[in-house]
Amino acid sequence: MPVFWLLTGLLLVCAVALGTMVALPFGRYPVAMTTAFVVFGMYAVPFVLFIVNLDHLEREPPILLATAFTWGAVVVTATAVPGNVAADNLIAKLVSPRFAAMWGPALAGPTVEETLKFLGVLVIALLAAAQVNSVVDGMVYGAMVGLGYQVMENVSYAAMAVQAAGTGDRVEPVFTTLIARGILAGPWSHTVFTALAGAGVGYAVVRVDRSRAARAGVAGLCLGGAWLCHFLWNSPLLAGGFGLGTPGQVAVLLIKGGPVLGLALALAHLARVREGDYYANVLAALADRRIVTPTELGALSSLGGRARLRRAAYARAGGAGDRAARRLQDAQSRLAVELSRGTTADGGLTAEAAAHAREVLRARHSLAALGLGPASSRRPFAGSTVMWLIGAWVTVFGALGLALMLRALT
Amino acid sequence: MGVPHGGLHRNAACSLAILAVIATISLGLPALDRAFPGERAVASGVVYAVTDGVTVVPPAGARLDVSQTRPGRDSGYAMFLVGRVRFAILVTPDRITTAAAADRLRTRLRDGLGASTTGAESPTPSGALTGRFHAGADGGWYAVRVLGSTTVVDATASGPPDELARWLPAIEAAAASIARAA
């Protein structure tokens, strides 16, 4: 497939270019740069956990998620650096250095970076179209592309901070960068921008019932939305922080970034509910209570609903109950996705769908063996392991950021 | 929702289009940037604002390199070309002493240019610390000043040693003209 060779070639060429870029700061500041890679590598972990759990019905193949991340980290970084510099210079030459200083990052950054990241989602869609089954899938791959670039951009900013500090191979500027760009600016940065753009790619790929122009229009609209969010984020608007110093700057971050993050999460929620309803209808059409019960159908579109059923199983049969309930839900999801791919010529189940149906029945028998009948618990959702991990990460790094801000203020 | 199917030709066409966009951004934009001249003449004896709060009177005959100039509100930088000598001014808001700022600049020169400082630093009547360095075949000169205890100004000049020697008096005069905006 041509896109595979395009991807391979670009990854090779851009990896060499990126290696050349990082070799110099690595040679000058080995301790600081190693710290930057480790810190921002760890920083990416909760983002990845959150992103892969966005689509709980159909987990994306790890190899494709890794490819999306690598596109962002390697291809986008290696090509955006010369593109950004050139675009910023052109603005300075065609308008003025002062205009470029104020508006260059807002105009050049989104134009170059959002385009390159968007192409990464397109490459994934061309490479494995069968894996892009929903708008949520597009958001997941978009978020991974954005995260890859966000991590490498933060590493490059850390290198620049170390150089600007003029104190040699010290790690303090790395942690300052982590607080400023990772924690305070990170939650509403490239990951969110490209998730929005990816939603458009997801729509364009799956809504084959719409005209090509309509699908291209929605994809373009989503890319435009991502560009606009990035533009506003980079713009000098409210740069003064209302004259309130650090608290004012933090307030501006929230004002500029909060709505973007809210928009992305709301879009993801709506798309997920729609996807869940779609797959629930696919399963309901089987009209087989051994495959799925009405209660399970109701829970299919909700992460909380699924967790509620698992916790009910846990309450009655411990960890084995929880695992058996999870196996059933995962098997039902796989069956629903397979059913959505179509049927045999005579309307029957494909071989893959039949295999997944047997998988569901085996999971159902495992539950029954534990004495668990059809699920109907109303036990309140108490959170999944992933959510606890993310919560712990936010708490620890939030406390760290707050402590450093207070220290800077006093 | 549904499952997409794409043909080989469409896949190839899309791949070529993606490659074309990437080439346009990573190669085309830099080529376009190089095609436009980046030097601008500056009026002799007229102050140039490096930031909203700091100005300089550039050496006579200097040209501004707009690619290396970004005047900002509290921080900014400007690059003037004087003959074959590059005269750069960097303004940053910071609360450090002149000696600490000079130490920081020497480290930056060492890390950024691979430069080695030569000789001892000497103070100037304007309160700056000045020194010399060399980086490869180029000679260099620097001056560091702290304006109003919150604004650090780094001025560096580098170029072929004979050119630097020729232009240094004018550059030193320009560095001495760096002041807070009226």
Q: What are the tens digits of pLDDT across the range B97-107?
A: 999 999 999 99
Residue A388, judged by CB atoms within 10 A of its CB (0-12, 13-18, 19+), counts as exposed
ipTM score: 0.91
Chain B interface test: which of A28, A93, A209 (most B C-beta within 10 Å): A93
pLDDT value of position A301: 67
- Residues of A with Cβ-Cβ distance to B4 under 8 angstroms: 125, 129-130, 132, 205-206, 208
Instruction: Provide the total of helices (H) and of strands (E) in chain A, helices listed first.
Output: 14, 0
Residue with tokens 């708490």: A395
If one compares B145 and A312, the residue with the highest pLDDT of the two is B145
pLDDT tens track for B18-72: 999 999 999 999 999 999 999 999 988 899 999 999 999 999 999 999 999 999 9
| Residue B6 to residue A28, Cβ atoms within 8 A | no
| Residue B8 to residue A28, Cβ atoms within 8 A | no
Is the CB of residue B93 less than 8 Å from the CB of residue B75? yes
If one compares B99 and B1, the residue with the highest pLDDT of the two is B99
Residue with tokens 């609360």: B95
Q: Buried b / exposed e across A259-285, counting CB within 10 Å, b at 16+?
A: ebbebbeebbeebbeebbebbbebbee
pLDDT value of position A377: 44
Distance, in Å, from the CA atom of B49 to the CA atom of B179, rounded to the nearest integer, reads 10
Going along chain B from its start, the domains and CATH numbers come out as 1-36 (no CATH), 39-180 (3.40.1000.10)
How does DSSP assign A45-113, residue by residue? HHHHHHHHTT-SSSPPPHHHHHHHHHIIIIIIHHHHHHHHHHHHHHHHHHT-HHHHHHHHHHHHHHHHH
- Residues of B with Cβ-Cβ distance to A126 under 8 angstroms: 6, 11, 14-15
pTM of the predicted structure, to 2 decimals: 0.85
pLDDT tens track for B65-95: 999 999 999 999 999 999 999 999 999 999 9
pLDDT value of position A374: 59
Angle at A144 between CA A2 and CA A118, to 5 degrees: 55
- Residues of A with Cβ-Cβ distance to B76 under 8 angstroms: 101
Distance, in Å, from the CA atom of B140 to the CA atom of B132, rounded to the nearest integer, reads 6
- Within 8 A by CB and 6+ apart from A362, the residues are A331
Q: Which of A15, A40, A24, A25 is nearest to A159 (CA)?
A: A25
CA distance B169 to chain A (A): 27
What sections of B24-97 are H helices per DSSP? Answer: 29-35
Task: Search chain A and give the residue with CA nearest B111.
Answer: A28
Distance, in Å, from the CA atom of B130 to the CA atom of B157, rounded to the nearest integer, reads 11
Structure tokens at B150: 């919150």
State the Rg of chain B over Cα. Answer: 22
Half-sphere exposure of residue A121: CA atoms within 13 angstroms, side-chain side: 37
- Residues of B with Cβ-Cβ distance to A28 under 8 angstroms: 111
Distance, in Å, from the CA atom of B92 to the CA atom of B103, rounded to the nearest integer, reads 15
pLDDT tens track for B155-168: 999 999 999 999 99
pLDDT value of position A307: 79
Q: Domain residues of chain A, as ranges?
A: 2-273, 285-379
pLDDT value of position A346: 77
pLDDT value of position A410: 47
Per-residue tens of pLDDT for chain A, all 410 residues: 889 999 999 999 999 999 999 999 999 999 999 999 999 999 999 999 999 988 877 788 999 999 999 999 999 999 999 999 999 999 999 999 999 999 999 999 999 999 999 999 999 999 998 888 889 999 999 999 999 999 999 999 999 999 999 888 999 999 999 998 888 888 889 999 999 999 999 999 988 889 999 999 999 999 999 999 999 999 998 887 787 877 888 888 888 888 988 988 888 888 888 888 888 888 888 888 888 888 888 777 666 777 788 888 888 878 888 888 888 888 888 888 888 777 777 777 888 888 988 999 998 888 888 877 655 444 434 445 666 677 777 777 666 666 665 555 44
Distance, in Å, from the CA atom of A143 to the CA atom of A140, rounded to the nearest integer, reads 5
pLDDT value of position A403: 65
- Residues of A with Cβ-Cβ distance to B105 under 8 angstroms: 166
Task: Search chain A and give the residue with CA nearest B31.
Answer: A86
pLDDT value of position A401: 65
Instruction: Give the closest of A89, A96, A208 to B4, CB-based.
Output: A208
Instruction: Provide the total of helices (H) and of strands (E) in chain B, helices listed first.
Output: 4, 11
